[in-house]
A and B are shown apart, each in its own frame.
Chain A
Amino acid sequence: MNDVTNIAKTTAIEPSLGRAFMAMLGRDLTLAYRHRAQLANPLVFFTIVVSLFPLGLNPDPDLLRTIAPGVIWVAALLAAMLSLDSIFRSDFDDGTLEQILLSPHPLSLLVLAKTLAHWLITGLPLLLLAPVLGGLLDMSGEALGVLMITGALGTPILSLIGSIGVALTVGLRSGGGGVLLSLLVLPLYIPVLIFAANAVGNAAGGFEVTGQLAILGSLLALSVGLAPLAAAAALRISLN
């Protein structure tokens, strides 16, 4: 809170861009740390969704090994999506977001800081938990390694694309924001799902995966560069 009010107050003596970025990042991480109990929710959700599949289908290890890449990625996608609202929601509710919009620094960079904080809070823990669940689904060591790489490349994309969706829907008063958000964001998530799950599946079969990883990497580069711009534009529209 203090950092943001400082940013707003000190327009005369502008802090540098880097400091503003770090202040925003630090603020969001501190806020998340103060609500530690909520940090575990996406992880629990992720674990539950993955564990539904062996229960619902068949606990046969061969089957589980085949479906594991897709199941883990779909579950991670849903967990990331359900946590998206926290990027802007509380700031919108208490008016902080309007203060951020008034700051002299480029909004897209501050949005990037908030998105990075969101990834550190939800994406990174999901990434660290994924190999444990992969092990439970009887995945091989090689596939687990590729799963980690696709996760490292793919989960930031989920946060970045998601920030656009949340920025577009944050101003809506109707309670349907959650369903609408998934309608907007999931189609844009599909390419990540396809390439990531395909890479892990190929690794499990002993095939080449560099092509898929290169595409994921380029998607990440593209979304780091462009998603904050789109999210910033969307925020300005939502807050008007």
Chain B
Amino acid sequence: MLAWLHRLASPKRFHGLAGFFITWCGWGALVLFASGLYYSLFNSPPDYQQGESIRIMYIHVPAAWNSMFIYITMAIASLFVLVWRIKAAAAVARACAPLGAMFTFLALATGSLWGKPMWGAWWVWDARLTSELILLFLYLGFMALQSAIEDKDAAARAAGVLAIVGIINIPIIYYSVEWWNTLHQGATITLSEKPKMNTDMFISLILMSLAFKFYFVVAVLRKARNEMLEREQNSQWVKEMLGGSDERK
């Protein structure tokens, strides 16, 4: 199992595998974004209370889901770095942080745009907003620690410890609206029950969140693959791959 894992994660295999996923998930993301945007902008009804502002939700909720999902991905990749010292996992964890910070910021910004007409304030110190803000700080801390340590392997492992310690915040964000009676509404969609929303709205939301997930896979693999190429630039397989194309020129 371990030998298989290491073979799978060897820089060369990772490069090929990532290329495969980048192509297919890239097309998937394109199709999902096109259909998701069409559904959420034209083919779903306005909310009976919130009117057209409901459409902000189709960006806001997928971004918020992604912000937590990326953190978990980053922490799992960090675990692989710490336990098995897999270079590809280090590159993935490193690539996750700016993307996660971006989605967290997007969730906060769209929430703020929605909050102004609905709650009458750009920002409220509600439990879910505050814990999402902490998540943003955790991402920034991860990136700051990565860039502060010069040795890349040590940086990946040190930041990995931080990512795993910070994962305690994820359940706090997820359950914050149930634990505290706050302004932010509770979850409308759960795995166990029928969604408490209009079917067209539900389809739009699912399409958009899948599109966000596919986009994340493409972006993180592209970043990680480039970093692997840069780090492995003196190794044989990179030279062969790039050198071959040089000769043809």
Chain A interface residues toward B at CB < 8 A: 161, 164, 168-169, 171-172, 174, 176, 180, 183-184, 186-188, 190-191, 194, 222, 227, 230, 233-234, 237-238, 240
The 6 closest A-B pairs by CB, nearest first: A187-B137, A184-B141, A237-B157, A234-B161, A183-B141, A237-B158
Contact B148 A230 (CB under 8 A): no
Closest residue to B165 on the A side, CB-wise?
Answer: A230
Within 8 Å of chain A (Cβ to Cβ): is B177? no
User: Is the contact region of chain B dominated by helix, strand, or loop, or is it mixed?
Assistant: helix
State the total of A-B contacts with C-beta under 8 angstroms. 58
CB distance from A236 to the nearest CB of B (A): 9
CB pairs A–B below 8 angstroms (19 shown): A161-B165, A168-B158, A168-B162, A169-B148, A171-B154, A180-B144, A180-B145, A180-B148, A187-B134, A187-B137, A190-B134, A227-B165, A230-B161, A230-B165, A233-B161, A234-B158, A237-B154, A237-B161, A238-B158
Q: A234-B158, A237-B154, A240-B154 are in contact. Are A188 and B165 (CB under 8 A)?
A: yes
Q: A187-B134, A191-B172, A233-B82 are in contact. Are A164 and B148 (CB under 8 A)?
A: no
Residues in chain B near residue A183, CB distance under 8 A: 137, 140-141, 144
CB distance from B154 to the nearest CB of A (A): 6
CB distance from A8 to the nearest CB of B (A): 24
Residues in chain A near residue B99, CB distance under 8 A: none
Docked CA distance A234–B166 (Å): 14
Chain B interface residues toward A at CB < 8 A: 82, 130, 134, 137-138, 140-141, 144-145, 148-149, 151, 154, 157-158, 161-162, 164-166, 168-169, 172
Residues in chain A near residue B165, CB distance under 8 A: 161, 164, 188, 227, 230
CB distance from B219 to the nearest CB of A (A): 24
Closest residue to B155 on the A side, CB-wise?
Answer: A237
Known: A168-B145, A230-B164, A240-B154. 19 other contacts (CB 8 A): A161-B165, A164-B165, A168-B161, A168-B162, A169-B148, A171-B154, A172-B148, A180-B144, A180-B145, A183-B137, A183-B140, A187-B138, A188-B165, A194-B130, A222-B168, A227-B165, A230-B161, A234-B161, A238-B158
Docked CA distance A172–B145 (Å): 10
CB distance from B242 to the nearest CB of A (A): 32
Residues in chain B near residue A240, CB distance under 8 A: 151, 154
CB distance from B212 to the nearest CB of A (A): 24
Docked CA distance A237–B163 (Å): 14
CB distance from B156 to the nearest CB of A (A): 9
Docked CA distance A187–B140 (Å): 10
Residues in chain B near residue A184, CB distance under 8 A: 141, 144-145, 162
Contact A172 B141 (CB under 8 A): no
Docked CA distance A234–B160 (Å): 9
Residues in chain B near residue A186, CB distance under 8 A: 137
Closest residue to B125 on the A side, CB-wise?
Answer: A194
Residues in chain B near residue A222, CB distance under 8 A: 168
Contact B148 A176 (CB under 8 A): yes
Docked CA distance A194–B182 (Å): 14
Closest residue to A239 on the B side, CB-wise?
Answer: B154
CB distance from A176 to the nearest CB of B (A): 7
Docked CA distance A161–B161 (Å): 12
Cβ-neighbour of A187 out of B141, B154, B158, B161 (below 8 A) = B141
Residues in chain A near residue B151, CB distance under 8 A: 240
Closest residue to A184 on the B side, CB-wise?
Answer: B141
CB distance from B162 to the nearest CB of A (A): 6
Residues in chain B near residue A171, CB distance under 8 A: 149, 154
Residues in chain A near residue B169, CB distance under 8 A: 187, 191
Closest residue to A219 on the B side, CB-wise?
Answer: B168
Contact A164 B149 (CB under 8 A): no
Docked CA distance A188–B166 (Å): 7
Residues in chain B near residue A187, CB distance under 8 A: 134, 137-138, 141, 166, 169
Residues in chain A near residue B130, CB distance under 8 A: 190, 194
Residues in chain B near residue A234, CB distance under 8 A: 158, 161
Contact A164 B144 (CB under 8 A): no
CB distance from B21 to the nearest CB of A (A): 30
Docked CA distance A190–B165 (Å): 14
Residues in chain B near residue A176, CB distance under 8 A: 148
Docked CA distance A227–B162 (Å): 11
Residues in chain B near residue A180, CB distance under 8 A: 144-145, 148
Residues in chain A near residue B141, CB distance under 8 A: 183-184, 187
